[in-house]
Each structure stands twice: as C-alpha cells, then as structure tokens.
Amino acid sequence: MAEAFARAHGSDVLEAQSAGLAPALAIAPLTHAVMLERDIDLGDFYPKELGSIIGRLGGVADSVDLIVNMSGYELQLKNPVTVEEWDVPDPIGEPEAVFREVRDEIERRVLGLIETLRSRKAVGSETASAARVDSRRRPTRQ
C-alpha cells in the first residue's frame, strides 16, 4: 500500500520500493479491493522479500535516502541509513474494515512524508535533492 500511495501521490519527490520480512506469494485480494476504492490498481505490484533489498544496500547504501520500517522489528543494516519507524498493524486475516483503516493510516503517513520532502525541495537547498526515496525498485540514500 505504501509503495502504491508513494507512486500515486509523490513521484515528483520520491521513488518508493517496498518489501517485507515474510512476503506472501501474492497481494491479498482485500488489499487490492481497498486500494481500488482509492483508484489505485495494484495489478503490477508484487510482494518482495526484504533481504533482496537490504542485500543490495551492502555496496550501494549511498543511493538510499530513507527506509520506512513498518515491520515492528529492528532492521539490521550494514551501512548507516535513516530508518523511520511506522507503527502500522498488518491487516492480513482481519475484516475489510481493518484493511480500510490500515490503508487510510498508511496513506496519511505517506502524504506526510511527501509533504516533508516537497517542503525540503521548495527550500531549494542541496538537501532537497538528497531527500529522494526510490520507488523504481532500486535503493536510494540519505
């Protein structure tokens, strides 16, 4: 959900990529349904394993600005990267109403992050360009 919202609302200031500690084989049907309510089709999205992204940080951590961690677990990173912790529940196995609540919480947080990045960009400082978050399935840095 976060990657989709980031791509839909903030492609001018970030590029997002998402992964999980134990991704499923497919995106849950209720996730698809509640995102379609926001006119976001998850058709080409798929769950990725966090190790595939973190593993790539080994030699290219300079290209990662920020990691948003919603796992509830501390990430073990080899290189210093800013990690923002979001306490968002996993809706898997919950009723549709919970999926909507989680969707709305994630959207609120993503929009807040986008606003922060846009305000940095508006200042025109060098840190504005360094405040990019990658969504083209490759890491960025901060």
Which domains occur in the chain, in start order?
Answer: 2-130 (3.40.50.2300)
Structure tokens at 13: 């200031």
The b-or-e profile of 3-20 (16+ CB within 10 A means b, else e) is bbbbbebbeebbbbbbbe
Structure tokens at 8: 């839909």
| Confidence (pLDDT) at 59 | 41
| pLDDT digits 0-9 by tens, 77-105 | 777 778 899 999 999 999 999 999 999 99
pTM: 0.78
Q: Is there a contact between 28 and 20 (Cβ–Cβ < 8 Å)?
A: no
Q: Is there a contact between 138 and 55 (Cβ–Cβ < 8 Å)?
A: no
